[in-house]
Amino acid sequence: MIHFNWPWVFLLLPLPWLLQRLGREPVLTAIDIPPVMDEALQALANRWHTRMTFRHWLLWCCWALLLTSIAQPWHPGDAVVQPVSGRAIALAVDVSGSMERQDFSLDGETGDRLSIVKQVAGDFMARRKGDRLSLVLYGKEAFIASPLTFDLTALSSILDSAGIGMAGRSTAIGDAIGLSIRTLQGDPAEHKAIVLLSDGTNNAGSVEPESAAQLADQLGIRIHTIALGSVDGERGGYQTAQSADLDEETLRAVAEQAGGQFFRATDSTDLQQVYSAIDTLESAEVAAPPVILRHDLRQWPQGLLLIGLLILASQRRSRDRFRGKRGEQHGGQQGGQHSEQHSEQHSEQHSEQHSEQHSEQHGKRLHAQAGEQFTP
């Protein structure tokens, strides 16, 4: 069944007829027309009406197709139920200067910590279909890179565009937790969680991580923390342990305070396992209203309207060309008649002048002869 977004547009269908009726002037019948001329005019009118019938019909069809396109027809498709969970998750990712250390490898390629986190966290996002995710990036300062959204592809793109040190070289863990709470606080989701990743210690910001964790616990928001850092001191040219500045105690305390779990990732394999463990958290799937797919049908009346307008344009061009030929023929006939009349007039005038001259000469001759006879 076809539906229309604006069905009231069809009320305008008789508009051309109404405009024609209102603009029509009364016909004057006070002039008497001869019967022969009246019959000729009636025959011409009937012939013109027969010729214009198809054009009028085509104009009405174009008008109806135009209104149909404006009404936006569509055809309902199959109802699709989207998997939706009652969970909202905020991802807090560290982009401080220490994330540039190249002590992690993934698929045999060594890279900096942030690059590996982008790949692993991107896979984690792709598996969160039905969840709403937000993204908080933090260094010396924290900022919300994306609010809660179902668009996981866009969220992954935002994470890919993050750069090391874009929020400062230090680490403000408490501010990152505070902003994550802000993105989740007013959301109606039943289950809310924060996944915080850090490779350093809290050395910036105005909020203590423990205080922020206590607030999250009061609001029913769990916090899962990931301590990222390698134990291999030789990789990357560093002489000290790669996780020497990692504050595991603070991250562990935050997770315990907010009812979450603490994870330690020393390499990319551990990091993948951590996100997989978080991925198995209890979900709260709820029934979502079905989404009815709509198939837009406006292209059909628009295409037919274009064909009708092309036909009308071709008819008008042919009619103008026919009128031009008739005008040329009529002008040629008038020119021929005018030349004939001009030649006849010229010949008549020439003959009259010749006869007058001949008569004058003949009269003068007779007068001369008469004068000679009477001369003594």
Type and span of the H or E element at 108: none
> Which residue, chain included where needed, has tokens 């210690």?
201
pLDDT in tens, 309-342: 898 888 777 777 766 666 666 555 555 555 556 5
CB 216 within 8 A of CB 223: yes
Query: Cα(216)–Cα(271) distance, rounded to whole angstroms?
Result: 24
Tally of domains within the chain: 2
Q: Does residue 322 sit within a domain?
A: no
52 plus 195 within the same structural domain: no
> Which residue, chain included where needed, has tokens 């054009």?
55
The tokens describing 340, both together, are 């004939």
> What integer pLDDT is reported at residue 205 of this predicted model?
87
Half-sphere exposure of 201 (CA within 13 A, CB side): 8
pLDDT in tens, 23-60: 654 444 445 555 655 555 555 555 555 555 777 788 88
**Last residue within a domain, chosen from 282, 314, 333:** 282
> What integer pLDDT is reported at residue 334 of this predicted model?
57
108 plus 220 within the same structural domain: yes
> Which residue, chain included where needed, has tokens 């300062």?
141
197 plus 140 within the same structural domain: yes
**DSSP secondary structure code for residue 83 in this structure:** P
CB-based burial, 276-311: b 16+ in 10 Å, e otherwise: eebeebeeeeeeeeeeeeeeebeeebeebbeebeee
Query: Crossing angle of helices 35-70/299-373, nearest 10°?
Result: 150
**Last residue within a domain, chosen from 282, 304, 335:** 282
Direct distance between the N- and C-terminal alpha carbons of the chain, in angstroms, rounded to an integer: 129
CB-based burial, 318-343: b 16+ in 10 Å, e otherwise: eeeeeeeeeeeeeeeeeeeeeeeeee
66 plus 181 within the same structural domain: no
115 plus 162 within the same structural domain: yes
What pTM did the predictor assign?
0.55
Q: Does residue 351 sit within a domain?
A: no
Low-confidence residues in the chain, pLDDT < 50: 25-30, 234-241, 282, 287, 366-367, 370-376
CA 349 to chain centre: 81
CB 254 within 8 A of CB 215: no
Give the domain extent around 135.
Answer: 84-282
Q: Does residue 359 sit within a domain?
A: no
135 plus 114 within the same structural domain: yes
> What integer pLDDT is reported at residue 304 of this predicted model?
93
51 plus 186 within the same structural domain: no
Q: Does residue 369 sit within a domain?
A: no
56 plus 148 within the same structural domain: no
138 plus 206 within the same structural domain: yes
95 plus 235 within the same structural domain: yes
> Looking at the DSSP assignment, which residues form a beta bridge with residue 85?
285
Query: Cα(246)–Cα(227) distance, rounded to whole angstroms?
Result: 7
Query: Crossing angle of helices 113-126/268-279, nearest 10°?
Result: 30
> What integer pLDDT is reported at residue 123 of this predicted model?
85
> What integer pLDDT is reported at residue 111 of this predicted model?
77
pLDDT in tens, 195-207: 999 888 888 888 9
16 plus 62 within the same structural domain: yes
CB 119 within 8 A of CB 271: no
> What integer pLDDT is reported at residue 295 of this predicted model?
84
14 plus 131 within the same structural domain: no
CB 165 within 8 A of CB 93: no
Amino acid at 268: S
Q: Does residue 293 sit within a domain?
A: no
What's the length of the chain? 376
Type and span of the H or E element at 164: none
Q: Does residue 264 sit within a domain?
A: yes
> What integer pLDDT is reported at residue 37 of this predicted model?
54
Sign, CA torsion 264/270/271/276: negative
**Last residue within a domain, chosen from 45, 64, 80:** 80
**DSSP secondary structure code for residue 24 in this structure:** P
Q: Does residue 333 sit within a domain?
A: no
Query: Cα(217)–Cα(206) distance, rounded to whole angstroms?
Result: 19
> What integer pLDDT is reported at residue 9 of this predicted model?
92
CATH number of the domain enclosing 143: 3.40.50.410
Q: Does residue 323 sit within a domain?
A: no
